Amino acid sequence: MLDDPERLRKGDPQGMAGTLSSLPEQLEEGLERAADRVPDPPRGRLAVAGMGGSAIVGDLAAAATGHYGGPDVLVSREPGLPRGLGRDDLLVAVSYSGNTWETLAAYREALRRDLPCCSVGSGGQLAEIAAARGHPHVAVPRGLPPRGALGYLLAPLLALLAPAAPGLEADLPRAVEGLSGVRARWLPAVPTGRNPAKRLAGVLQGCTPVVYAPAPLAGVARRWQTQFNENAKVLAFHGVLTEAAHNEVVGWLGGQGVGCFAPVLLEAPAEPPWTPFLEALTELLQGQARLTNVRPSLDRFLPGLLELVLLGDLVSVYLALLREVDPWPVPPIDRLKEKLAARGLGGGSAEGEI
């Protein structure tokens, strides 16, 4: 199935595999779009308000400053602001559609409190409010599913943070170059025998994936989970290490129903303290469950982090194809948004008044 070009084309008619593989090009274009449009890094914290495929870029930005330094990044997934946000902080509202209720509510709350803000999106009310208020706004290309625009949405955050984190600034072009190289092994044209992304999808087929990562990569584990949910249309979960080794590990070794789940252990790029820990955990889990270890090949933090993101994205598309579901549409999310809009929340509602 995964090696038949005709079936691949029919199974993924809108081209999710190609869209997600364009991550390095999206990052490059996103950095160009962000140039001169993003404000300076805040003296205080950077709060990212968003949901789903838009919010995840906040987690990845938080991982980056956790490693390279720069302002603390808080991610807020609710219709309000994190407690204690003040004038030294900066709110970035990220919504691909520009019409997500929770994100607009957080943004409006920041406007009411006259806090510094900027936004990233492809249009909608977010762009309208930004224009009306004269706030910085980075416009990204339209016509994609939000989770297929990760590079466009992430680049403005990294561009904003880079002046406060010289190591991050230096690793950005390395990430773009590294990703263009590593993706060649995972593309649809590469047969399963030589394609680790297709092989991993085969391992996960019929199971519920549970993706673990060390704390600095928590956002990557969440991205894997949500891409399995939205592209492959399966339940999936994620957990963060080392915490999960102090509780969930007992469930894995307890026997009940373990065969229905497939643990995937993401390893951190070039983070020495994690290696012995992950080795010990692997020894414990091996033989108890269908464990897969995934280690990035790019050795610097941001390139390795994004390599893992891109790999998980493609695995989720191959899993969709194996399950014979179209990876692109997400009717349940659309239906929920329609119901919310009918109740006056989010896009097209009276809330849209600036």
Q: Which residues bind ligand F6R (CB under 6 A)?
A: 51-54, 95-97, 100, 103, 145-147, 230, 330, 333
Nearest-approach distance from CB 134 to ligand F6R, in angstroms: 22
- Tell me what percent of the chain is helix, strand and coil, each rounded to the nearest 5: 55, 15, 35
Give the residue closest to ligand F6R by C-beta: 52
Contacts of 343 (CB under 8 A, 6+ apart): none
Nearest to ligand F6R of 65, 125 (CB atom): 125
Please give the angle made by the CA atoms of 343, 329 and 338, to the nearest 5 degrees. Answer: 5
Min dist CB 152 to ligand F6R, Å, is 11
67 versus 135: smaller Cβ distance to ligand F6R:
135
- Which lies closer to ligand F6R via its Cβ, residue 155 or residue 281? 155
Q: Indicate the angle between helix axes 196-204 and 301-322, nearest 10 degrees.
A: 60
Of the two residues 103 and 292, which places its CB atom closer to ligand F6R in the complex?
103
Contact assessment for residue 151 and residue 25, using Cβ atoms and an 8 Å cutoff: yes
Please spell the DSSP secondary structure of 51-79, one letter per residue: -HHHHHHHHHHHHHHHHH-SS-EEEE-SS
**Those residues with Cβ within 8 angstroms of residue 286's Cβ, 6 or more apart along the chain or in another chain:** none
Closest distance of CB 20 from ligand F6R, Å: 11
Q: Based on CB atoms, which residue is closest to ligand F6R, 184 or 235?
A: 235
Residues in contact with 131: Cβ distance below 8 Å, sequence separation at least 6, in sequence order: 137
Q: Minimum distance from CB of 15 to ligand F6R (Å)?
A: 14
Check if the beta carbon of residue 100 is closer than 8 Å to that of residue 346: yes
The minimum distance between CB 96 and ligand F6R, in angstroms, equals 4
As measured in angstroms, the least distance from the Cβ of 193 to ligand F6R is 31
Q: Are 77 and 86 in contact (CB under 8 A)?
A: no
Nearer to ligand F6R, 52 or 70 (CB): 52
